[in-house]
Amino acid sequence: MGKKKTRSIVQEFNDYFGTGTLDDWQRLCRDVGLEGDLSSITKCRKALRTVHVNIHDLVDAVKQGQRPRRFRNAQELAEYTLRTRKIYPKRFVKEMGPVKALLRNIL
């Protein structure tokens, strides 16, 4: 993936997510289709562990007012991600950030 495309997805996700307030985390959970008790960032982070979405697709879906495709498991997500080459660069992942909650080991 080129540097421009890498910077683009990182910036687009950061713009979408915001500053990391509870409202930002709750919006992310809703946008991927999660419901239930999302009353803290910790609960949001835990809930997101069960979700398998491609981050590129998430950003695109939100722009279009849709929900991203959710995969049944990490293996399905990995196969799709490698096939489409829609890989979020690991070097831009913050330890406790939202991307970390969505990231899956695909290799």
Helix (H, G, I), strand (E, B), or coil: what is residue 66?
coil
- Give the Cβ contact number of residue 100 at 10 Å: 13
Instruction: Please state the pTM of the whole predicted model.
Output: 0.87
Query: What residues make up the domain containing 70?
Result: 3-102
96 — pLDDT class (breaks 50, 70, 90): low
Assigned domain for 89 exists: yes
Q: What is the mean pLDDT of the chain?
A: 91
Domain count, the chain: 1
In this prediction, residue 2 carries a pLDDT of: 55
Assigned domain for 73 exists: yes
Distance CA 40, CA 26 (A): 8
Assigned domain for 11 exists: yes
Q: By the 8 A CB rule, do 88 and 59 touch?
A: no
- pLDDT at 60 exceeding the cut of 90: yes
